[in-house]
Structure 1
């Protein structure tokens, strides 16, 4: 293992090594506008506090590693870190593999991404790496329209991905999972904060920790366009609680229900909620990307034997 390797990422994650900016610029020459040399080490980097630079990096990573062309998102939507998003996909692959010798691949493996956002990241990576098929849902029509643009530019990947709007924001699975549907997994990166004010304070705190508060503009703190990505009434805990109770209505239609849990202190409460719906399988998968710790909460209403015989 090289000194530059990020050994806290999943072993199959393509981003365990530090970004090769020379290679990425070859793939996407537009990235060159944001690449700069670190004076002390003479190594190449970008300004990770510049949203345009991060978006260009994301576009380059998706082009080079996942063969996604012309990826873009509107300015008022979140720009996700690709390595962490890829980790979630790889850990789901481990869940699906279970006791089998190989990871199940191909479009017969069907996932449901709850709250896909405008970036379409999870379906793009899952389809590219494992050739899985996805239903990608969101309440925000503008987000889905942008996903549709991305898919239009990537017909080979698009054939595995369908978009669906959740018309009733009070529900998560209802009207998305139909009686005839069978999913091998669901996944979600739930809204983190309880309110717009809490989201704003969280960003200010993060910028203070980075010593960047003096550079904050009103636009940086304006979450109006991305409120459904950053916060919801009751925040992460209430959202996942709702998800757990709804999941109990589809016990035979999904192999594994999963969600990210950002706040470790929420796990205790969520475990109590899960006790009420009585899943047969329950797992907490720890993840780490740099200084950021997160975890996947996964549960299933199927026995080990049923999981092994779930049609793929």
Structure 2
């Protein structure tokens, strides 16, 4: 056994309201989700942990976190679908809350505040966290039939989600808002975790790099410990093309949404994205950075509302 690591008591890089700032309490997590126990064992430092190379272990941990921290009765995803790290997803939600708060001191809460999750996925993570933490309601859209079925099952089997989450199928793969947002329907924000990579090869190379960073050895193949289908991991042109197309389409829904947002994985994507936002005359653009371990994450937010329209929106809806 190697010399025991000294861990900070609080993960200060995470959002102050995050439920994940302390190290995982496996005793409490196992009590909430007993099946996690099969995957917990001392690591080389003598700390209780799981094998993060094992997709089943990662899924069991996520399930325990969602049951323990977010009050779920049920959560599951089909095999090989994206199993995202919960703390990072929670930080996006908490920063959206700060964005909605603006210069005020009160975070808008309750089911009257509505978000659109573009690509809700089989896991339904963002609506789960947003509903529990702030009481928000959500529209979750996806093009994948299996993801839609899974997300609807999560919504139906958790009584708190039934009246606050609506899952809608996006029938046209290249659309973001058309076919999902109804005429005159308003949402206070959109949220999106784009496919980051431009090809399957890029996705596999990134996975190999990630796994090498985890254990210091080059793995023989790209084992995706978090899972993921093609449409979840890569798209033609990568995230830069994906976000650009989203921005152009969002212009047509500028009066139906206060804040459009999207995660940006690669810093190099920011500059061309700013140029597109300038071209479509976004009135306000913000980039919000989020720290997660050794990685800096970020999302970009934009609106087409004038200053007066923003004031009226806040007065009417918040």
Residues 305, 280 of structure 1: CA spacing in aligned structure 2 closer, same or farther, 3 A cutoff? same
- Once residues 44 and 294 of structure 2 are traced to their aligned partners in structure 1, the CA distance between those partners, rounded to angstroms, is 24
- Once residues 211 and 177 of structure 1 are traced to their aligned partners in structure 2, the CA distance between those partners, rounded to angstroms, is 46
Q: Which residue of 2 aligns with 1:50?
A: 54
Q: Per-residue deviation at 1:32?
A: 0.8
Alignment of 1:16-95 (within 5 A): 16-40=21-45, 42-95=46-99
- Structure 2 segments unaligned to the other structure (5+ residues): 1-6
Q: Which residue of 2 aligns with 1:157?
A: 161
Residues 12, 221 of structure 1: CA spacing in aligned structure 2 closer, same or farther, 3 A cutoff? closer
Match of 1:309, SS state, is: helix
- Once residues 22 and 161 of structure 1 are traced to their aligned partners in structure 2, the CA distance between those partners, rounded to angstroms, is 31
The worse-fitting range, judged by mean Cα deviation, of 198-207 and 73-82 is 198-207
Alignment of 1:205-216 (within 5 A): 205-209=209-213, 210-214=215-219, 216=221
The alignment covers a number of residue pairs equal to: 308
Contact 2:118 2:142 in 1 (8 A): yes
Residues 130, 221 of structure 1: CA spacing in aligned structure 2 closer, same or farther, 3 A cutoff? closer
Q: Which residue of 1 aligns with 2:145?
A: 141
Which of 290, 303, 312 lines up with 2:293 in the alignment? Answer: 290
Q: Which residue of 2 aligns with 1:101?
A: 105
Contact 1:191 1:230 in 2 (8 A): yes
- 1:185-224, Cα deviation, whole Å (9 max, x unpaired): 001000011111221222223223334544647xx36999
Q: CA RMSD in A?
A: 1.9
Which of 180, 197, 218 lines up with 2:201 in the alignment? Answer: 197
Which of 265, 268, 275 lines up with 1:265 in the alignment? Answer: 268
Contact 2:55 2:227 in 1 (8 A): no
Match of 1:70, SS state, is: coil
The worse-fitting range, judged by mean Cα deviation, of 102-111 and 152-161 is 152-161
Match of 1:265, SS state, is: helix
- 1:240-298, Cα deviation, whole Å (9 max, x unpaired): 00011111111111000000000001100000001111111110000111122211100
Contact 1:196 1:223 in 2 (8 A): no
Q: Which residue of 2 aligns with 1:177?
A: 181
Contact 1:193 1:232 in 2 (8 A): yes
Q: Per-residue deviation at 1:96?
A: 0.7
Residues 212, 166 of structure 1: CA spacing in aligned structure 2 closer, same or farther, 3 A cutoff? farther
Is 1:276 the counterpart of 2:279? The answer is yes
Match of 1:239, SS state, is: helix
Match of 1:248, SS state, is: helix
Match of 1:106, SS state, is: coil
Match of 2:252, SS state, is: coil
- Structure 1 segments unaligned to the other structure (5+ residues): none
Q: Per-residue deviation at 1:20?
A: 0.8
TM-score, normalised relative to structure 1: 0.94
- Once residues 283 and 293 of structure 2 are traced to their aligned partners in structure 1, the CA distance between those partners, rounded to angstroms, is 33
Is 1:117 the counterpart of 2:121? The answer is yes
Residues 194, 35 of structure 1: CA spacing in aligned structure 2 closer, same or farther, 3 A cutoff? same
The worse-fitting range, judged by mean Cα deviation, of 223-232 and 162-171 is 223-232
